[in-house]
Amino acid sequence: MTVVTVTSPGRRMPPVQRRDFDAASSFDEHGSALLGFAVNALRDHALAEDCVQETFLRAWRSRDTFDAERGSERTWLFGIARRVVIDALRARARTVPETADGLVEGIAAVAADPLDRLELAEALAVLTEEHRSIVIAVHLEGLTYQAASERFGVPVATLRTRAFYALRALRTHLDGLESRNG
């Protein structure tokens, strides 16, 4: 912790306690994970980069509020990033209809609330690529298992099994989010 003495012309102010926050080293350590989170939530790489930049700007501005006893720096940054992404989703919902790709359309059809869409995008990001692709194909794009089998070159029975385990993992993840927020 660094003590900073704030002065103004002709006046001496008492020392102010400030926590050290090195944005550059924080960015090196957590930037790529935050970008991955934002890209998964927004499905727009440029907007995700803007959100990561805004996250570090907000973190730097509110560096005095960071308390290592409450959680790690990474947790604190992800909390800020989540709020920035929510703001971006709300802004995009007000200005541009969400027709970028089947995933966004499918999530929008399942969950109209931007917060619900963000939670669903987070939950999909937790899945493996094989599980995520079958959930998106069958439940968001509306493909039959037979059509998905032809697309992926995997037997229908295998896809049904993947879908079962993927949906179970999604349910577990979303129930965990609900219990934390509830």
Give which of 178, 180, 145 is closest to 162, Cα–Cα.
Answer: 145
For residues 110 and 1, give the distance between their C-alpha atoms in angstroms, rounded to a whole number. Answer: 47
Query: What is residue 141's predicted lDDT score, i.e. its pLDDT?
Result: 80
For residues 134 and 139, give the distance between their C-alpha atoms in angstroms, rounded to a whole number. Answer: 8
For residues 98 and 108, give the distance between their C-alpha atoms in angstroms, rounded to a whole number. Answer: 8
- Within the chain, all domains assigned CATH 1.10.10.10 are found at 103-182
Query: What is residue 124's predicted lDDT score, i.e. its pLDDT?
Result: 82
Q: How many CB atoms lie within 10 A of CB 142?
A: 11
pLDDT above 70 (res 47): yes
pLDDT above 60 (res 108): no
- Within the chain, all domains assigned CATH 1.10.1740.10 are found at 22-95
Query: What is residue 160's predicted lDDT score, i.e. its pLDDT?
Result: 94
Give which of 123, 154, 161, 158 is closest to 140, Cα–Cα.
Answer: 123
3-class DSSP assignment, residue 3? strand
CATH 1.10.1740.10 for domain 22-95: yes
| Residues composing the chain | 182
CATH 1.10.10.10 for domain 103-182: yes
User: HSE-up of 104 (CA within 13 Å, CB side)?
Assistant: 16
Query: What is residue 25's predicted lDDT score, i.e. its pLDDT?
Result: 85
